[in-house]
Amino acid sequence: DTEVTQTPKHLVMGMTNKKSLKCEQHMGHRAMYWYKQKAKKPPELMFVYSYEKLSINESVPSRFSPECPNSSLLNLHLHALQPEDSALYLCASSQTGQGGYGYTFGSGTRLTVV
């Protein structure tokens, strides 16, 4: 298995809703990431998990709450989002350590906040 699987592919939610994005990989990667990508912009790093521990939080508002239940799963819990949070949310994973370890990206969740 060489894929990162993200669900759902599309999500429309109201500003008072609570929803979760899910990400799963079975490549044995111990680093997992959440990126946010607006249209015609590059992906922007939100969170980094290394060995199931949150390593980096790039000043992301608390309405986004990440969770890493185990080495294969990564969730992003959403609550009280704003319309400007509408974007493509990408999950990625990689091996840790040195070397040419590119990130493997999931196909993303297209989120629309109404």
Contacts with another protein in 26-45 (CB under 8 A)?
A: 31, 33, 41-45
Of the two residues 15 and 96, which places its CB atom closer to another protein in the complex? Answer: 96
Contact criterion met (CB below 8 Å) for 71 and 30: yes
**20 lines the binding site for another protein (CB under 8 A):** no
* Cis amide linkage into residue 42, ω under 30° from 0: no
Residues that bind another protein (CB under 8 A): 31, 33, 41-45, 48, 50, 55-56, 88, 90, 92, 94, 96, 98, 100, 102-108, 110
